[in-house]
A and B are shown apart, each in its own frame.
Chain A
Amino acid sequence: MNKSELLELKKTACKVRLWTVEGVFNAKSGHPGGSLSAADIMTYLYFKEMNVDPKNPEDPKRDRFVLSKGHCCPALYAALALKGFFPTEEIKSLRHIGAMLQGHPDMKNTPGVDMSSGSLGQGISAACGMALSAKLSGDSYRVYAMLGDGECEEGQVWEAAMFASHYKLDNLVAIVDYNGLQIDGSVEDVAGLDKLNEKFTAFGFEVYEIDGHDFEQIEDALGKAKTIKDKPVAIIAKTVKGKGVSYMENQVGWHGKAPNAEQYKTAMDELNAQLKALEA
């Protein structure tokens, strides 16, 4: 990608983060940490990678995105709104009674959400089903599933991984947002996912390890993924939980907590300053 594209992506990611914080603050609950760690990857997917059209969200030929780590939907909603699937104003009523935007993704009511998710481990299976459907129909669309690192403790992830490689789902890309933290502490302390790359390799995946905040590395990995035949791809993206908001970065306490008014102002000031710097 050229410099101006890179700059645009950085600005969009910054806006995704701003709307993520806006949503969680207005909801007075939610999951900012993992949303912010995933924001760059989601930005790249929706603004560079995927063939999706906000005017035709149900297009059968579209690429699919399944947020298997469904609790990080504030970032997904921000990306979808900025892409034009629905007005950004909707984000302010996230998690409110009667709101379109639920605490976890709801495909029935939210344009652009390809799969309801939130119960960890389940999205990757649905993504396998979508990828299989494309193979059966001879469609060329691709399916992207984003998982949390903690989520990889769920047995179903590995059931799905076996399925994906057994049926040679080379149109499936599983992206692990490896921010290293889960509710009860660091992933390493809670259950230990050591050598996740080797695990996915052993399960038959082509594996790439990248910095999940570096757009060039994201582009490179997703580009290479398209050249892989007869097996699925896993991208292990090393990220920083809470990325972009200084006091949230690498803090386990910001997994599932909303900022108060003062913290909200600090976060918005920081993100706005980052955006301003990019626009300068």
Chain B
Amino acid sequence: MAESIKIATRESFGQALCELAKEHDDIVVLDADLAAATKTEIFKKAYPERFFDCGIAEGNMIGVAAGLAAAGKVPFAASFAMFATGRAYEQVRNSVGYPHLNVKIAGSHAGISVGEDGATHQCCEDIALMRTIPGMVILNPADHYEMIEAVKAAYAYNGPVYIRLGRLAIDSFNDPDNYSFEIGKGITLEEGNDVTVIATGLVVYEALKAVRELKEKGINARLINMHTIKPIDKDIIIKAAKETGKIITVEEHNIIGGLGEAVAAVTAENYPVPVYRIGVEDTFGHSGPAVGLLAEFGLDKDGIEKKIVELIKK
């Protein structure tokens, strides 16, 4: 197994774009004055002729991306999740989603782990917003290696994709030599039959650490890394419902509209079992160091472990 590296998925995203661009000259990257933060600056340095800063005008950036896609390019448009999916929601819906154009939207600084910038920039609604757009694929990679593969898969897929990027540097846990990414296919990280934990994005590794500790304490939890929120992997959820009888979801997102509700919809319609949602409980975040905020919101290893123990008794 390759060594674990500590890197923010936004950085991995920037690297992945550069790698892809070597082979594909139809890739064009757009940003809205946040290239240094979304890490599209890595691409900008390598391919300045294919990078276009749109200035602080996210709505226009999404429209420009739509036009580029309509003319045959494969644009990746990046901004903070708040602006790419919130400010520009309607442009994403009408100019990208409705014509099902081949636009890739990258939303960085998602979730409360933005940290010090506080609530205005801590987007915990992006997944909910993007889920409502017909045909939109939603990817939420959990570490460096998964992000690299997710960006490749997003490029290979012909249609709109939203990719969620994090600001906080996190440890990688996937083994690149033994890893494959397929859109819409969850990955079982730990087997177990007492309960199933389904996590997505930045908190997957926290959930993994929690589940491993619980195994030592006699709680045998299954852990699924749900890197694709849409289309959701129904099979893996129904199987988990049947075999473990209880599901706990973990996400750095509002519990309304995110992974938890996507999972609950699948179980409710196919094999009803209790589904408990760990996430941001319909509240705004606030300023503070990212790691401290994750602990405060119960989204670090200890918080997730405590919650699992509580919920398993219900």
The answer to whether B67 and A127 touch across the interface, beta carbons within 8 angstroms, is yes
Q: Report if A116 contacts B (CB, 8 A).
A: yes
Choose one: B73, B95, B99, B100; the contact of A125 (CB below 8 Å): B95
A119-B91, A133-B71, A136-B50 known; 13 new pairs, CB 8 Å cut-off, are A66-B67, A108-B100, A115-B99, A116-B98, A116-B99, A122-B59, A133-B73, A156-B60, A159-B59, A160-B63, A162-B55, A163-B64, A166-B55
The answer to whether A115 and B66 touch across the interface, beta carbons within 8 angstroms, is yes
Choose one: B50, B59, B69, B100; the contact of A129 (CB below 8 Å): B69
The answer to whether B52 and A130 touch across the interface, beta carbons within 8 angstroms, is no
How far does the Cβ of B219 sit from chain A's closest Cβ, in whole Å?
Answer: 50
List CB contacts (< 8 Å) of B84-127 with chain A. 90-91, 94-95, 98-100
The answer to whether A163 and B57 touch across the interface, beta carbons within 8 angstroms, is yes
Q: Given the complex, which residues of A lie within 8 Å of B57, measured CB to CB? A: 156, 159, 162-163
How far does the Cβ of B46 sit from chain A's closest Cβ, in whole Å?
Answer: 16
The answer to whether A128 and B94 touch across the interface, beta carbons within 8 angstroms, is no
* CA distance in complex: A156, B73 (Å): 22
The answer to whether A126 and B55 touch across the interface, beta carbons within 8 angstroms, is no
A interface majority secondary structure: helix
Q: Given the complex, which residues of A lie within 8 Å of B49, measured CB to CB? A: 136
Most buried by A among B72, B95, B100: B95
The answer to whether B60 and A132 touch across the interface, beta carbons within 8 angstroms, is no
In chain A, what residue has the closest Cβ to B88?
A: A156
Known: A122-B91, A122-B94. A128 touches B73 (CB 8 A): no
* CA distance in complex: A128, B64 (Å): 6
How far does the Cβ of B25 sit from chain A's closest Cβ, in whole Å?
Answer: 9
Interface size on A, residues (CB 8 A): 35
Q: Given the complex, which residues of B lie within 8 Å of A114, measured CB to CB? A: 70
Q: Report if B54 contacts A (CB, 8 A).
A: yes
* CA distance in complex: A236, B67 (Å): 23
Q: Given the complex, which residues of B lie within 8 Å of A121, measured CB to CB? A: 59
Q: Report if A247 contacts B (CB, 8 A).
A: no
Q: Given the complex, which residues of B lie within 8 Å of A123, measured CB to CB? A: 63
How far does the Cβ of B43 sit from chain A's closest Cβ, in whole Å?
Answer: 15
In chain B, what residue has the closest Cβ to A139?
A: B71
Q: Given the complex, which residues of A lie within 8 Å of B75, measured CB to CB? A: 129
Known: A125-B91, A136-B50, A163-B54. A115 touches B70 (CB 8 A): yes
The answer to whether B68 and A167 touch across the interface, beta carbons within 8 angstroms, is no
Q: Given the complex, which residues of B lie within 8 Å of A128, measured CB to CB? A: 60, 63-64, 67
* CA distance in complex: A155, B91 (Å): 13
In chain A, what residue has the closest Cβ to B50?
A: A136
* CA distance in complex: A137, B25 (Å): 10
Q: Report if A60 contacts B (CB, 8 A).
A: yes
Known: A108-B99, A119-B90, A136-B28. A159 touches B60 (CB 8 A): yes
In chain A, what residue has the closest Cβ to B98?
A: A116
The answer to whether A130 and B55 touch across the interface, beta carbons within 8 angstroms, is no
Q: Report if B224 contacts A (CB, 8 A).
A: no
Chain A 75-118 interface mask (CB, 8 Å, partner B; 1/0): 00000000000000000000000000000001110000011101
